[in-house]
Amino acid sequence: MPYALCFLLFMIGLYCVVVKKNMVKIVIGILVMEYAVNLFLIMLGYRMGGVAPIVGQSELDPSTGGLLSSFLNASVDPLPQALVLTSIVISLGSLALMISVCVRVYGKYGTFDITEIRRLKG
């Protein structure tokens, strides 16, 4: 169910990019898509009532020296969180570039409406 909602959010973003005519709204649509993917990544590693994946003395099994199976079953997957951090930084970079291009386009054309910004044809 949460995955379906995540996909719905992704589709809302895509719809926004395809339908909206205002450049800034298109940028917002792209951001919504990126957030949906980030959310999806986070949920892949999420566990209801999970514990932080940090191994201390109390997580080790005294008899075998390995990890306790209760810890392995409860700890969340830390890797998607690292991926999401990277992906947030990347989307920040592309957001900055997109917004600056929007500002420059507004300076040249005096409008954000993409139906009026049509010098390129063919």
Binding residues vs other proteins (CB under 8 A):
10, 14, 17, 23, 26, 30, 33-34, 37, 40-41, 44, 79-80, 83, 86-87, 90, 93-94, 97-98, 101-102, 104-105, 108-109, 117-120, 122
Compute the half-sphere exposure of residue 91: CA atoms within 13 Å on the CB side of its CA. Answer: 18
Write down the least CB distance from residue 32 to other proteins, Å: 10
Write down the least CB distance from residue 12 to other proteins, Å: 13
Write down the least CB distance from residue 87 to other proteins, Å: 6
Write down the least CB distance from residue 76 to other proteins, Å: 14
Which one, 62 or 78, has the nearer CB to other proteins?
78
Which one, 58 or 118, has the nearer CB to other proteins?
118
Burial (CB < 10 A; 0-12, 13-18, 19+), residue 33, is buried
Which one, 63 or 101, has the nearer CB to other proteins?
101
